[in-house]
Structure 1
């Protein structure tokens, strides 16, 4: 009796036909910034995009951000430039200058990277930044957010296309595992760099990355986690639509820097819809798009909403603060919102 083979099939390189499907949503863009670090994910993305865009689709500019954190980074950026020259793609190098932070380095480096890429979006007149986020990145993001106690919006993970501060981010490879991109580079004879920080266990994401093989052995693969994120994104969108519909049916008004709506009627909806409705009202009341994008802690939003629901059902007045606003619930169930001072933000159990 022969034991069954447990060998897994070799990852299949991506083809031009695969790329045509993956990049279909980018066909309407006039010009794209491609974020290329020099790692296998972004090198494969660049090669596939260059081949695809050579058929008359969007103009491309590849941008490499040198964070100045490793001496090898400058050489790797030049390597990307050589690759771009061979592919006929314009290449630009952006440098993160100044002193580097001692804490939350990865998060701040990521913010700096997107700020520098956004500069090139405006300079080039591009319509989006294309990144090489993979199914593995999506799985890591989902696990990190689960551990942080995120709600549905967070667990939906990264979207294939989203906007940050008015800049569109396109992630066409979210459904592709990293191994296939490595295989793509190898099949095309493309050199790529390896960043040692991608294996540094000091960083939270890397610790989760190290768990992925063990989770995959138990059936929780990157593909399964990505599928879960997609399903949660679908549910999140549906619930947001229901919350908007519920809000549209409420008596509401405003003026003089204040807004009000019938919270008592909203509180008759399922709790999830009430929480989302309050979040949507607060986002709409912000002074700017950038301010509206600032995330609120879900636990605080839930705590505030639950207190308001209890008060509305008992006919009690209640005051709270949340997201920079004073929330005043009257005994008749009408909730008014007014901006609070800059000094105290969050939720405080101040009752009347």
Structure 2
């Protein structure tokens, strides 16, 4: 006789259980007031309220945002949890407002976690969020690293990890949990605002599900991509360590040895070498897989095979293939400001 399905309470409890026995210090929960994070806050209060603290980031993007943050604070107090409002008060510039808000949110949460001695920051990303992420990256032409989607956990800062305990739970389940426990929650209007990519994909996902490409299968693709990505990354790290020596503030690689590796490994080795050499003082340059592939597959590998010189720049790094089969990477000289004199 098969076991009865686990209750919603049990499923949320199991998701949180690994974080109840972490080293001393609180864990910080990011709560926006939506059903997902509200369910996370309530479940945390049930299993170990002394272990958790709560923070709400007020992005001040809507007139009601301050009142919404206060509402989260009232519910947190009812649950016996300490709550803090973190306000993003920087100027808003450009069209990428959601990306800017996301960066600000993690920066504020990381700083607050450090201030209260928290080693963990918990967010309530769900299976549906993972599916949307994978689909967005598929549309953008990502490789295995991008299709791996959101990780269960990743470092935010030294001694602070971001964890996502609900990545295997659906949004429907978390809404049902809130309704079962009579928890008030917010509905963010940006979730249906089709100016934003995720909102447009939410309209598309039910149509894909009718063809069999549902959230669970997209999330399973992320698991498989992550597994392959991990193996490729580990092999690339070994190869990079075997073929690299430092050279006047840069790196020099054994290009002939590198050519004996599969192309997937070569691309990752050069990617890791670029990360090592890229100037730390400059703003991070967005990675574009197409540019990296064009450099490695269309230019660098043919130059090494033909033993001819090559000189390219990518992500603030000068890459030179030398005739004897070596590759030199060094920080590129700064570009000259355009002469505006007439």
Give your verdict on TM over 0.5.
yes
Shift of residue 12, structure 1, vs aligned partner: 8.3
Q: State the alpha-carbon separation in 2 of the partners of residues 105 and 325 from structure 1.
A: 29
**1:108 & 1:228 partners in 2: Cα distance?**
28
Q: Which position in structure 1 is the counterpart of 2:136? A: 144
User: Is contact 1:264–1:309 with CA below 8 Å preserved after alignment?
Assistant: no
CA contact (8 A) 1:316 1:330 kept: yes
Give the whole-Å Cα distance in 1 for the aligned partners of 2:209 and 2:60.
Answer: 35
Deviations 1:275-327 (A, max 9, x none): 00111122223455x97975421111111111111111111111111221111
Contact kept in structure 2, 1:284 and 1:292, CA below 8 Å: no
2:151 matched residue in structure 1: 159
Q: Deviations over 1:158-197 (max 9, x none)?
A: 0000124544211111111100000000111111011111
Matched, 1:329 2:321: yes
Post-superposition Cα deviations, 1:187-238, rounded to whole Å, max 9, x if no partner, equal 1111101111111011111101111111112211111111110110110000
Alignment map for 1:244-323 (pairs within 5 Å):
244-250=237-243, 252-286=244-278, 288=280, 295-306=286-297, 307-323=299-315
Give the CA deviation at 1:98. 4.2
Relative to structure 2, which stretch is displaced further, 241-250 or 174-183?
241-250
Residue from 226, 230, 233 that aligns with 2:226: 233
Stretches of structure 2 that go unaligned for 5 or more consecutive residues are: 337-342
Higher alpha-carbon deviation: 95-104 or 309-318: 95-104
Name structure 1 gaps, 5 residues minimum: 1-10, 345-352
Query: Which residue in the other structure is 1:46 paired with?
Result: 41
Match of 2:22 in 1: 28
SS in 1 for 2:155: strand
The verdict on how the C-alpha distance between 1:178 and 1:124 changes in structure 2, with shifts beyond 3 A counting, is: same
**C-alpha contact (below 8 Å) 1:33/1:129 kept by paired residues:** yes
The two structures have a TM-score, normalised by structure 1, of 0.88
**In 2: Cα distance, 1:111 partner to 1:77 partner:** 19
> Tell me, what secondary structure is at the counterpart of 2:234?
helix
Q: 1:241: Cα distance to partner?
A: 1.1
- Could you report, residue by residue, the CA deviation over 1:87-108 in whole angstroms, capped at 9, with x for unpaired residues? 1100011112143335111111
Q: Any idea what SS the aligned residue of 2:251 has? A: strand
CA contact (8 A) 1:327 1:337 kept: yes
Q: Which moved more, 1:224-233 or 1:26-35?
A: 26-35
Structure 2 CA distance for aligned equivalents of residues 77 and 221 of structure 1? 33
Preserved contact between residue 13 and residue 181 of structure 1 (Cα < 8 Å): no
1:196 aligns with 189
Q: What is the aligned-residue RMSD (CA, Å)?
A: 2.1
Matched, 1:90 2:82: yes
Q: Which moved more, 1:99-108 or 1:144-153?
A: 99-108
Aligned counterpart, 1:19 = 12
2:122 to 106, 118, 130: 130
* CA distance in structure 2 between the aligned counterparts of 1:12 and 1:50, rounded to whole angstroms: 20
1:78 maps to what in 2?
70
Q: Would you say the 8 A contact 1:50–1:60 is kept in 2?
A: yes
Deviation at 1:151, TM superposition (A): 1.2
How far off is 1:149 after superposition?
A: 1.1
Is the contact made by 2:27 and 2:118 (CA closer than 8 Å) also made in structure 1? yes
Kindly tell me: are residues 25 and 284 of structure 1, through their superposed partners in 2, closer, same or farther at Cα, counting changes over 3 Å?
Answer: farther
| Per-residue deviation, residues 226-258 of structure 1 (Å, max 9, x unmatched) | 1110110110000111112222332x3223212
In structure 1, C-alpha distance between the alignment counterparts of 2:157 and 2:310, rounded to whole Å: 34
**Runs of at least 4 residues off by over 4 Å:** 290-295
Q: Whole-Å Cα distance in 1 between the matches of residues 250 and 62 of structure 2?
A: 51
Tell me how far apart the structure 2 counterparts of residues 103 and 89 of structure 1 sit (CA, whole Å).
36
